[in-house]
Structure 1
């Protein structure tokens, strides 16, 4: 189903409270005479315990939506709510604290520190946040991604899929309200990608984790509960319980 022009899509089928919500969010770049509207009056709520994939053609605003929702970019207009926190009203210090405690990030490039072991990489967010490091908690989160026995290995001693699982464990160690993932399987082979997607599915189904994921891969999107399609900075379509074929067809229509 395609939203009429000028109407933004609201995920009303999810009855759980919103973990993160965008209300009339716009993000503009450039000056008055050469302005690019990366996001244009976007309103959407991501329910707690849900997994949403965000798709669209190149330049449609996918990554900008993710960055604004996660407080990595300031919005030009509108409001971003992370639970009870208003990110648009938060100062830099509060945003930094929220990103360390309430928000998890996973990116296409694993961003692991090469000189540190898997265990030390996972521990790093806790140390940066000034929190007490529980060795038991770190081992537990590494065990949850199937890497307890590799905890003393450095990134160069791990496969791409294993490195991404370390990155997921690092994001999850603070028990974030929302996990944001930007092309988390983009640098992986098909087998490793499937393993990572199964892990994300387990986090949602078993731990009630909320995930918002940007992807270009219909198969990855089909692992999510729902898919939002963006074009020219607006939400133009939505699919619940998506199939890879259905996602690919809708994406092809947008790119055509």
Structure 2
């Protein structure tokens, strides 16, 4: 299968002249379907910029980005919006749930925004898949942080996206809740990919946590906007040690 996401010689700069900052510098990387990749690096290394460019949330100055089989490098905003609604899922550190809505209503939001018919069975199944089938009528304030993040994951997955982008998904959680969320993401890749004829799902996750990164299939490291290393099957200690060498 072709990559779920691919960056080809991508560069992204902010500002101009003497104040110009290069966030990504000639980055080429492919994220295959059915894989989970963690992206790590020191502060300012370009992690979030890589994720935002890969997801079409930010524009590359140079290079090419292929997402879910489409070249989005110069795609107009309405095309990007439609692609994000139908082919991508997003999970962030702060959950981004709508406080006035129930868990079921939050999970249903992507369908409503995409203008597709609401599939209540799919919504209930998504909540059941994250272990919250009995919390559908609860609002965010009635749920723990870990439960809120699981609702956010259910919302991200309800449309069966080709790619799930996660930005520090365990950053606001205690260790026990973080472990539950990581186990859930592992299940997404290992057990849910390819179900019902859908393409295998891909996760691209930015994190600063070596434990979270070690749960992924591979970890890629950035420094000063460049890819500098990749580890596969590494332990949290190995990830932490490699990260430390980049922060010196």
CA deviation after TM superposition for structure 1 residue 89, in Å: 2.5
Runs of at least 5 residues in structure 1 that lack an aligned partner in the other structure:
1-15
List aligned pairs for 1:99-248, cutoff 5 A.
99-208=84-193, 209-248=201-240
The CA RMSD measured in Å over matched residues stands at 0.7
CA contact (8 A) 2:68 2:87 kept: no
How high is the TM-score relative to the length of structure 1? 0.93
Q: Does 2:21 match 1:32?
A: no
Counterpart Cα distance in 2 of 1:56 and 1:174? 31
3-state SS of 1:188 partner: coil
Runs of at least 5 residues in structure 2 that lack an aligned partner in the other structure:
194-200
CA deviation after TM superposition for structure 1 residue 90, in Å: 1.1
Q: Does 2:44 match 1:64?
A: no
Counterpart Cα distance in 2 of 1:82 and 1:128? 20
Counterpart Cα distance in 1 of 2:2 and 2:150? 28
Counterpart Cα distance in 2 of 1:175 and 1:80? 21
Displaced runs of 4 or more, over 3 A: none
How high is the TM-score relative to the length of structure 2? 0.96
| Number of aligned residue pairs | 241
Counterpart Cα distance in 2 of 1:43 and 1:238? 13
CA contact (8 A) 2:4 2:31 kept: yes
CA deviation after TM superposition for structure 1 residue 83, in Å: 2.9
Residue deviations 1:67-126 (CA, integer Å, cap 9, x gap): 000000000100100132111121111000001011110000000000000000000110
CA contact (8 A) 2:2 2:69 kept: no
CA deviation after TM superposition for structure 1 residue 199, in Å: 0.1
